[in-house]
């Protein structure tokens, strides 16, 4: 005759508590991972693969890069829509560069030609976090920040959010645009006759680049909530 299995009350309580705590921890981990997944849909966490590097000592101001940019992206030669900006230092120079090694480039500076390019900002990306329609995303191929024209409503909030004024606005299409590195083969680099532009591996240059405009935090509440744990 089979003997009945004896279960000690103390062991049962211990096992119950152990398994309960384990289950609770597992559920908490799943919930936390789900939160991360939801947050990743609101913000761009991964860095771009590359970015454009300029050499102001080589630039001759021909602005062929601007024509190559708009011809590739817009099908027309219109420098005002170019994602690379040449010559914005002619009159006053970048604000903020008035001391030290950049003394000659500040306001009322030396008329040096400067090429401004998108810095492909790391998280939190100013233009992307400001967009109320999540229209600025990371390109699947290059991870460059790109405007999804299907989502863009032409509100122009991203133009005010970029400290370097690198967002462009097409009035005809009523859409914003920005440099997305031409799918990994920037046309401006190939068009430059002076080799003043290079496409290199990404690194954070946001702290070194002087800002062009003062900006206010234009961040959606959902993005702010997602950013609080790490900021």
Q: pLDDT tens for residues 91-104?
A: 565 655 544 434 44
Give the residue among 104, 151, 142, 96 at the shortest CA–CA distance from 120. Answer: 142
Judged against a pLDDT cut of 90, whether residue 88 lies above it is answered with: no
Judged against a pLDDT cut of 70, whether residue 226 lies above it is answered with: no
Q: What is the pLDDT of residues 13-65, one digit of tens each?
A: 565 555 555 555 544 444 443 444 344 445 788 999 999 999 988 999 999 99
**138-165 mean pLDDT:** 94
Residue 57's pLDDT is: 87
Query: Is residue 52 a contact partner of residue 203, using CB atoms and an 8 Å limit?
Result: no
170: β partners: 175
Which class for 200: exposed (0-12), middle (13-18), buried (19 or more C-beta within 10 A)?
exposed
d(CA 145, CA 149): 13
Give the residue among 72, 64, 52 at the shortest CA–CA distance from 193. Answer: 64
Residue 33's pLDDT is: 39
**156-179 mean pLDDT:** 94
Q: What phi and psi values does residue 224 have, to the nearest 5 degrees?
A: -60, -45
Query: Is residue 73 a contact partner of residue 83, using CB atoms and an 8 Å limit?
Result: yes
**pTM of the predicted structure, to 2 decimals:** 0.72
d(CA 69, CA 189): 10
The total number of residues written for the chain in this structure: 231
Residue 109's pLDDT is: 58
């Amino acid at each position: 005759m089979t003997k009945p299995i004896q279960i000690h009350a103390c062991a049962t309580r211990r096992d119950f508590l152990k398994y309960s705590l384990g289950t609770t921890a597992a559920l908490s981990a799943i919930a936390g991972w789900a939160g991360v997944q939801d947050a990743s849909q609101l913000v761009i966490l991964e860095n771009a693969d590359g970015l454009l590097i300029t050499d102001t000592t080589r630039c001759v101001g021909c602005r062929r890069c601007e024509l190559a940019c708009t011809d590739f992206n817009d099908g027309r030669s219109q420098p005002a829509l170019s994602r690379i900006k040449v010559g914005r230092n002619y009159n006053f120079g970048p604000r903020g560069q008035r001391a030290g090694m950049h003394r000659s480039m500040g306001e009322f500076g030396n008329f040096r030609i400067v090429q401004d390019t998108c810095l492909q900002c790391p998280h939190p990306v100013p233009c992307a976090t400001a967009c109320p329609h999540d229209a600025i995303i990371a390109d699947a191929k290059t991870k460059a920040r790109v405007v999804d024209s299907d989502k863009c409503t032409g509100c122009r909030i991203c133009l005010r959010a970029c400290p370097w004024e690198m967002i462009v606005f097409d009035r005809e299409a009523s859409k914003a645009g920005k440099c997305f590195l031409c799918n990994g083969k920037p046309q401006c680099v190939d068009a430059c006759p002076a080799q003043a532009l290079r496409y290199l591996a990404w690194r954070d240059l946001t702290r070194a680049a002087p800002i062009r405009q003062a900006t206010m935090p234009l961040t959606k509440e959902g993005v702010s909530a997602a950013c609080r744990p790490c900021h």
